A and B are shown apart, each in its own frame.
Chain A
Amino acid sequence: MTDQAPEPIPQADPAALAAQPGTTGLTDGEWHRLHPASPLLKGGIMLLAIIGFIVYNFRDTLLNTWLGGPEEEDPLTWLIETQGVGLIALAVAGLLVVLVIGFYLSWRFHTFRITDELVEVRSGILFRTHRKARLDRVQGINIVRPFLARLFGAAKLEINVAGQDANVQLSYLGSVHSDQLRAEVLRLASGTRQREAAEQAAATGQPAGIVEQRVHELLAPELDPNAAPPESIVKMHPGRLVGSLLLSGTTVMLIVMVVGVLISVLITRELFWLFAFVPAVLGLGGYYWNRFTKSLRYTIASTPDGIRIGFGLLSTSNDTLPPGRIHSVQVSQPLLWRPAGWWEIKVNRATKSSAQDAGAGQQNTTILPVGDRNDAMRVLGLVLPTMTTEEAQALLTSGLISRGGDDGFTTSPRRARIWHWFSWRRNGFAITPEAIVLRRGAVWRQLLVVPLARVQSISVTRGPIGRAMRLADLRVQTVAGPIMPYLTSLDETDVVRFFDEASAATIASAQNDTSHRWRSAGQG
């Protein structure tokens, strides 16, 4: 390659890494390039698909040409007839050259730099884009390794910034560097300056030899032992995962469908109903398989820079959520899970991941796919580090399993039972110094926790019927996500008291909150 640029290209040069043990050298405020295989990994798959599509479409013609058979009119036959073989070869060669040049240029023009304050990415050949993101607004860093990229030893680093589609993607980086780079970016985001960061970084030994290194990376556990305590606080048993999937609402739907089809067949005596069923079965099978492989090898662990959640079997994803980036937490238990005592935990975050490879839609908000009550409490302790006192734990436990009554929650009055037949005893709220805790549902149990420092606003609503019954609804506004923290049909005086207390507590805790600069604030 005719590369005369003075800029270092650390990805392609393992020696550069060896020269600077412990750091990637990528956070020095200079412009850097991505992994050389990036365009291939991003565009190459598309290219393969296009070639496959063409071959598939002209399969008949090709077979006919080689094996003899009835001639058909299509562009390829026409080309071959008009002595196009040379022309085709020329076109293919030209296309290849254009592609290679395009790939090379897009790689050359795609640069990024990370300074103390910002991460910047420049990309595009004709249409240049330049994206800057402030490090103190980082909501999390996600490392995604699609299977193909893993073979190349590459990984996609996604820096989540607050806002819709406001993420900065570095795809792809060398797999080894990405873990290290994430640690460095988080360290910068935490308020630690560049020089200290270099001092803090510990030297890490990498196994020599490219092949050995690849094998090591592919087989190694998801978490870099230096970057995180490898001990996941939740052990995900495959059996439990299968069980949780089988006992999900999707299965209920499937059973209803099967029964419906069987009835149709019995009534109409027509077997074609079974075939109508095939696409649905295929789709559901894919869904189960996806959920299963994506939740396999699930790990969750605490690191100094936040919670680290790993997912995935072939394509892996590994997300780090710094402290104070979780806007609300929901622990829920569908009815079918109750005999097994399983719970699921979701969170609201101020960011939407655009990475689809490793099931971003799932792992970005679901932080515990399934676990028993101990698991759930451990994960809650991790995402709500301020609620680990004994009282708070007791409150959370009664929020999970209590049937209601006098247990720290202010619940709906008896007259609200026409709205909440089974759950009026459970339907209630509690305000602790750290968070607003909402509990609802007796059949589908849910516990919602909104840290006070993350509350955006609080509202109270009342309709005409509620007014007549002296009932009111309350709602806590947080960033958009799968969780909606609201309660309906509570006593009006309780709701007004909630409004006053919660708004005062919100202001107090927002003023004391320093979690966006978690290290310089001296917090763990």
Chain B
Amino acid sequence: MTDQTTIQAVEWQRVSPKYVVVDLIGYLLSGLLFTGISFVPHFLFGWDWAWLIPVAVGAFWLVMVILTPRRVRAIGYALREDDLVFRKGIMWSREVAVPYGRMQLVDINRGPVARAFKLSELKLVTAAAATGVVIPGLPETVAEELRDHLVTVAETRRAGL
């Protein structure tokens, strides 16, 4: 118990596997965009070494794209008795516990790509801006059920700020 090095939860809920595609599209688009922009010094100034910039930028985004399935698999949340635990990240990992009574409101957002895959993103807002819990890639029905559930439990455990 005291020797564990990762947060244990009864069962981690994973986000939809379809979210890999959504995330992949996002990373591919921004990767192409930034790689394209990084060609500018090459064409503008014609320095000999300027071609290295797009190569480096492209390689960075390629790694991001390749790691996407793993990164999506690393996203997880667990509904414990009195709080919600959220985790994400492989290189830079982050785990957050938010007591239900602290939730001020629950948002559901849908991006254009995610909407095509019928996925939603759930955002928890507490009185602290730094809490920053956004659960992406939830199927629409799951997101709505989760929101209703969270709102109900938050109401029963409501405390002052």
Which residues on A are within 8 Å of B, measured CB to CB? 136-137, 139, 162, 324, 327, 350, 453-464, 467, 470, 475, 477-480, 492-493, 496-497, 499-500, 503, 506-507, 510-511, 513, 515-516
Partner of B5, one of A458, A470, A513: A470
Partner of A454, one of B93, B97, B161: B161
Q: Enumerate chain A residues within 8 angstroms of B13, measured Cβ to Cβ.
A: none
Task: Provide the bound-state CA to CA distance between A461 and B4, in Å.
Answer: 15
Partner of B4, one of A453, A456, A493: A493
Q: A459-B97, A463-B92 are in contact. Are A511 and B4 (CB under 8 A)?
A: no
B144 contacts partner chain A, Cβ-Cβ < 8 Å: no
Q: Which of A327, A455, A459, A515 has the most CB of B within 10 A?
A: A459
Partner of B7, one of A457, A460, A477, A506: A460
Task: Provide the bound-state CA to CA distance between A480 and B131, in Å.
Answer: 11
Least CB separation from B97: chain A residue? A503
Q: Enumerate chain A residues within 8 angstroms of B10, measured Cβ to Cβ.
A: none
Q: How large is the interface on B (under 10, 10 to 19, 20 to 34, 35 or more residues)?
A: 20 to 34
Q: Which of B2, B101, B102, B127 has the most CB of A within 10 A?
A: B127
The answer to whether A513 touches B130 (Cβ under 8 A) is no
Task: Provide the bound-state CA to CA distance between A461 and B159, in Å.
Answer: 27
B82 contacts partner chain A, Cβ-Cβ < 8 Å: yes
Interface 1/0s, chain B 1-32, versus A by CB < 8 A?
01111110000000000000000000000000
Q: Enumerate chain A residues within 8 angstroms of B85, measured Cβ to Cβ.
A: 503
Q: Enumerate chain A residues within 8 angstroms of B131, measured Cβ to Cβ.
A: 456-457, 459, 477
Residue pairs across A and B with Cβ atoms less than 8 A apart, 8 shown, are A139-B161, A460-B94, A461-B95, A463-B92, A480-B128, A499-B95, A510-B102, A513-B160
The answer to whether A511 touches B159 (Cβ under 8 A) is yes
Q: Enumerate chain B residues within 8 angstroms of A493, measured Cβ to Cβ.
A: 2-5
Partner of B94, one of A461, A492, A515: A461
The answer to whether A507 touches B91 (Cβ under 8 A) is no
Which residues on B are within 8 Å of A, measured CB to CB? 2-7, 82-83, 85, 91-99, 101-102, 126-131, 133, 157, 159-161
Task: Provide the bound-state CA to CA distance between A80 and B17, in Å.
Answer: 82
The answer to whether A499 touches B129 (Cβ under 8 A) is no
Q: Enumerate chain B residues within 8 angstroms of A480, measured Cβ to Cβ.
A: 128-130
The answer to whether A459 touches B101 (Cβ under 8 A) is no
Task: Provide the bound-state CA to CA distance between A511 and B156, in Å.
Answer: 10
The answer to whether A477 touches B2 (Cβ under 8 A) is no
Q: A457-B99, A478-B128, A496-B5 are in contact. Are A515 and B160 (CB under 8 A)?
A: yes
The answer to whether B93 touches A462 (Cβ under 8 A) is yes
Task: Provide the bound-state CA to CA distance between A493 and B7, in Å.
Answer: 10
Q: How far is the CB of B95 from chain A (nearest CB, A)?
A: 5
Least CB separation from B93: chain A residue? A462
Task: Provide the bound-state CA to CA distance between A484 and B101, in Å.
Answer: 22
Partner of A457, one of B2, B4, B96: B96
Q: Enumerate chain B residues within 8 angstroms of A327, measured Cβ to Cβ.
A: 161
Task: Provide the bound-state CA to CA distance between A477 and B129, in Å.
Answer: 8
